[in-house]
Structure 1
Amino acid sequence: MTEKREYKDDYPEKKLYIPGPTEVRDDVIQEMCQPMFGHRMDRMTDLYTTIVEDTKEFLGTDNNLMVLTASGTEFWEASTLNLVDENILCTTCGSFSERHANVAERLGKNVDRLEYEWGQAVKPEDVREYLEQSDKHYDVVSCVMNESSTGVRNPIEEIGDVIAEYPDTYFVVDAVSALGGDYVDIDEHNIDVIFASSQKAFAMPPGVAVCVVSDDAYDREVSKDSASWYGGFQRAFDYYDRKGQTHSTPAIPIMLAYRKQMKYMLEEGHKGRSDRHREMAEYTQEWAYEHFDMFPEEGYESQTVACIENTQGIDVAATIEGVSEKYDFT
């Protein structure tokens, strides 16, 4: 059993250079210090409708969108319960895509894997070949857009175009560490469900997750009578249409911070924000290729996470500790 460790008040401040949580603007943090108000008040309706519509504008989507008090993990479970009767094909190329498959197995679904070595990207032509040769009908094909464990950015646009050839198969994308920092045209590429967390490229405090759902996926969940209560598409979107609020009590302080940060994101724009991340990624990758090597397959490097292969045998843990102490970041 883990022994209790007392939380102190004198921890040194460290600038965050980790996949998440990421740095949050001071004025965004201050938004969370407002007096509390009720989640069924008109003020909450104003707040939540602003959040939803601003996020849809930022992402350029006409699909349904919810912001739920949860981590992105919630939508692994919810999308599986809402869309999968029997079979799901999980493309796996790292830790998080494998976890998605594990979640589906724990929910009692028949899971097949299209597996890749860590560092390799999922290929659209492999997905097509697998679906063509399989004698099963898959309710869902899942893919991680940005595999944080390997630094791979999967070509979800091309994969979505392949799955569009199978109208009764739904495409579910985990974009937790990419959305907000890497542009994707959700509506154009047959993405039925795509979700992300606030603490990654959205640069918000952790605690809420964003999920975009196509009309087809919504209709599927309605006809299926989903086993998911908290993450049920019908419950969330019908309540929003009737009340302009969330169906369960949200983390109001984080929603306030979300609204503030989303205004900054709208000013920069989806493509502008993506271009800025790409520029930083290319700078980092050039340095890494010169001095070490990148772990992901060349041409599929993430633009929000850098996974560098330790080709020089340095003590990574000691290096990080030393740099953290000297420059106050982690």
Structure 2
Amino acid sequence: MTEKREYKADYPEKTLYIPGPTEVREDVVEAMCEPMFGHRMDRMTDLYTTIVEDTKTFLGTDNDVIVLTASGTEFWEASTLNLVDEHMLVATCGSFSERHANVAERLGKTVDRLEYEWGQAVKPEDVREALETSDTQYDVVACVMNESSTGVRNPVEEIGDVVAEYPDTYFVVDAVSALGGDYVDVDAHEIDVIFTSTQKAFAMPPGLAVCVVSEDAYERELERDTASWYGGFQRCLDYYDRKGQTHSTPAIPIMLAYRKQMKHMLEEGHEARDERHREMAEYTREWAREHFEMFPEAGYESQTVACIENTQGIDVAETIDAVSEEYDMVFSNGYGSQLGEKTFRIGHMGEHDLESIEALTDAIEDVAGL
């Protein structure tokens, strides 16, 4: 039985290079300290409409945006309940894409997997073949944009173009560890649902899930009598249209932080933010290939999370502890029993820049004797 461990509030500060949560600006943290107000007051309408419309502007989408108090996991469940009658095709290439399939099965859906070895990327031509040759009419094709367990960035744009040729099939993208740090044109590639969590590349505190919903996906849900209650597209979007608020009590302090950080993101711009993340990713890959190897399939490496193959056989756990103790920096081991000591991961997302990533790699070199 787990015993209580009292929170002491006097822990040393650590710079986070994990795949989320990531570093948060000081003024964004301070924004959470405003006096509390009611979630049905006009002030809440001002706050919520600001973050929703600013998010649309940042992402460059004409689709609807939902911001809910939840983790991105909420929209695994909600999109499945809202869009899937029975059959769903899920491309699996790592832990989180496999978990998406498991969630759908727990909800009683029939799931076909388009399976890849961990480290391999989903190929658009394989999705096309699966849709063309199957006798099943799939309600949804689901794919993770950024498989953070393996550091793979799937080509969701090209996959979206394929799925768009099947008007009765909807395309759902888990972009939890990528959106905000890796540019994707949601509307151009007809992505029906794409969602993220604020603690990743948005560089905000944890606690909010963001979902972009196409008009087609909204209309599809109207036909359903088993849609999600909390994450239902109609319930969320109709309430926003009527009231400019959320249908249930939101985490107001985190939304205040969201407002502040989204202003920073708009000032930087989506394309510039994408370029900064690309520079960090390219540097980290070059460093990894100098000392180790990259784990993902070549050409499909993530722009926000580097998964590095431990070809030198360093003690990953010991190195992580030593870097934390000596440099107050934290990076991550491999994900799960398959990759725990075989890989390690560096989150180069959010407000990090090339200089801060170089500081981490210097620390790893020093501790590991590279």
Could you state the TM-score of these two structures normalised by the residue count of structure 1?
A: 0.99
**1:137-156 equivalent positions in 2, closer than 5 A:** 137-156=137-156
For the pair 1:248 / 2:248, whether they are aligned, the reply is yes
Q: CA deviation at 1:10?
A: 1.6
C-alpha distance after superposition, 1:145-179 (max 9, x if no partner): 00000000000000000001100000000000000
Please tell me whether the aligned partners of residues 145 and 156 of structure 2 are also in contact (alpha carbons under 8 angstroms): yes
CA distance in 2 between counterparts of 1:9 and 1:78 reads 36
**1:89-238 equivalent positions in 2, closer than 5 A:** 89-238=89-238
Q: CA RMSD in A?
A: 0.6
Please tell me whether the aligned partners of residues 152 and 301 of structure 1 are also in contact (alpha carbons under 8 angstroms): yes
CA distance in 2 between counterparts of 1:68 and 1:4 reads 30
Unpaired stretches in structure 1, ≥5 consecutive residues: none
DSSP 3-state at the match of 2:65 = strand
Q: CA deviation at 1:228?
A: 0.8
Q: Could you tell me which residue of structure 1 aligns to residue 40 of structure 2?
A: 40
Q: Could you tell me which residue of structure 1 aligns to residue 296 of structure 2?
A: 296
User: Identity rate of aligned residues, in percent?
Assistant: 84
Q: CA deviation at 1:3?
A: 1.3
DSSP 3-state at the match of 1:187 = coil
CA distance in 1 between counterparts of 2:254 and 2:243 reads 20
Question: Letter of the aligned partner of 2:273 in structure 1?
Answer: R
Please tell me whether the aligned partners of residues 68 and 208 of structure 2 are also in contact (alpha carbons under 8 angstroms): yes
CA distance in 1 between counterparts of 2:201 and 2:163 reads 27
Could you state the TM-score of these two structures normalised by the residue count of structure 2?
A: 0.89
CA distance in 2 between counterparts of 1:17 and 1:125 reads 34
Q: CA deviation at 1:320?
A: 1.1
Q: Could you tell me which residue of structure 2 aligns to residue 80 of structure 1?
A: 80
Q: Could you tell me which residue of structure 1 aligns to residue 348 of structure 2?
A: none
Please tell me whether the aligned partners of residues 82 and 228 of structure 2 are also in contact (alpha carbons under 8 angstroms): yes
CA distance in 2 between counterparts of 1:117 and 1:47 reads 44
Q: CA deviation at 1:224?
A: 1.3
CA distance in 1 between counterparts of 2:107 and 2:15 reads 38
CA distance in 2 between counterparts of 1:167 and 1:207 reads 34
C-alpha distance after superposition, 1:221-246 (max 9, x if no partner): 01113431000000000000000000
Question: Letter of the aligned partner of 2:149 in structure 1?
Answer: S
C-alpha distance after superposition, 1:298-317 (max 9, x if no partner): 00000100000000111111
Unpaired stretches in structure 2, ≥5 consecutive residues: 331-370
Please tell me whether the aligned partners of residues 221 and 227 of structure 2 are also in contact (alpha carbons under 8 angstroms): no
Q: Could you tell me which residue of structure 2 aligns to residue 5 of structure 1?
A: 5
Please tell me whether the aligned partners of residues 226 and 232 of structure 1 are also in contact (alpha carbons under 8 angstroms): no
Question: Letter of the aligned partner of 2:217 in structure 1?
Answer: A
Q: CA deviation at 1:287?
A: 0.8
Q: CA deviation at 1:324?
A: 1.0
